[in-house]
Amino acid sequence: MHRTTWRVAVLTVATISAFIFSSVSWSNASTPTTPPNSTALFAVSRILKLSTDGAGPSIVATGNDSMFAIGTFDRSNGAVDDLIRINLTTWRIAAAARFPNATSVAFGDGSLWWATGQHAFDIPAPDSGRALFKIDPTNLHRESTYVLPNRTLLVTVAGSSLWVATPTMLIRLDPGSGRVLAKVIMGFTPTDMSPSGHGMYLDVLGSNGSKQFVTVYDATSGKRIAQRQLPGATGGPLATTARGVWVTTLNLNNKSATARYYEGNRLVPSAVRGGYPFDASLYPGVGVIWLVDSGGQGSTDCFDTSTGHVRARGGPLGVGASVATYAGKTYVLFEHPLTDYFLHVTPSKSCS
């Protein structure tokens, strides 16, 4: 899984350390931390409290029986970390570390990949944002640093191919050495990137001036297969399925969002669902698409992956990048009221 998160936080380059997180708690599903009005969507089976101070968490990757999240996590001794690994078996935060601000994080080829292409306020990113970190997914130690020709905005692994997007091109890297295997000029600025078609393709969201595009590339060669101009602005994220991709477009006049489905690797326009909150985001689930108002005001929906038909509707979650699936199971971030919780949920019959 890949999930792209644009985040700016005040961070410094520090020694990376991994440890058992001290501020971890577990609650049963009957506690008030269960999202209100959510029974139509799912039942909560496990709850993990995340001690946060500042920027809230976002789920950015899954793998190795773990969930990875970024944010600003406060330790009991006053130190903070911005990357944590949640062990899904023990249901504990098993490791945490500090890295420079992230523009994108992905898991694949047995490693966690961390792109550094933006500055954090007045703190410069390493190597002017051109660094890509290779991180051990167990202890979160940095294993290697690959320096690219330009800023590393996005990273993902499609099949066995590691791809990084800079402001002007896609670059395929050898995961072991960092050697450049392919370069592809895009002709637009990328804003999100995700594998699709079971790793055969690479979907890239981007803009050129006022025009917004979704473009499909071959995940091995980087050859462009199709491109579709979107009828409106968008910030993503892309929600890819086995048969296509969903993306929200924004109406700047009435501050609303529309979910649009493009089918197949030719991006044939298919389903359209409108009238959603302006900051609605889409996430792929197990047989459904989840729509979440990251502002925490609008409802949370699960809808059909092909038609956009709403199967069930529940209360707001209030957290961006808040739904992820791994090994057929669904996980959710939830805020109540200013504390963040990580939930293992069982989707309702309508949402599965």
Neighbour-count burial for 222-251, b at 16+ CB within 10 Å, e otherwise: bebbbbbebeeebbbbbbbbeebbbbbbbe
Could you tell me the two tokens for 344? 């293992």
User: Which sequence spans correspond to the domains of the chain?
Assistant: 2-26+45-232+320-351
Nearest to 104 by CA among 148, 135, 62, 60: 60
Assigned fold of 2-26+45-232+320-351:
Methylamine Dehydrogenase; Chain H (2.130.10)
Q: How far apart are CA 154 and CA 2, in angstroms?
A: 10
Q: In the numeric block, which tokens belong to residue 207?
A: 């803009």
Distance CA 333, CA 37 (A): 15
Residue 11: what pLDDT? 29
pLDDT computed for residue 235 by the predictor: 73
Structure tokens at 235: 């910030």
Q: C-alpha distances in angstroms, 288 versus 37, 50, 240, 270? A: 19, 27, 11, 16
Tens-digit pLDDT profile for the chain (352 aa)?
Answer: 443 333 333 222 233 333 334 344 444 444 557 888 999 999 999 999 986 666 678 899 999 999 999 988 876 666 677 899 999 999 999 999 998 878 899 999 999 999 998 765 566 777 889 999 999 999 999 999 999 999 999 999 999 999 999 999 999 999 999 999 999 999 999 999 999 999 999 999 999 998 999 999 999 999 999 999 999 888 789 999 989 999 999 988 888 899 999 999 999 999 999 988 888 999 999 999 999 987 777 889 999 999 999 999 999 887 766 899 999 999 999 887 778 899 999 999 999 9
Query: What pTM, to 2 d.p., does this model score?
Result: 0.88
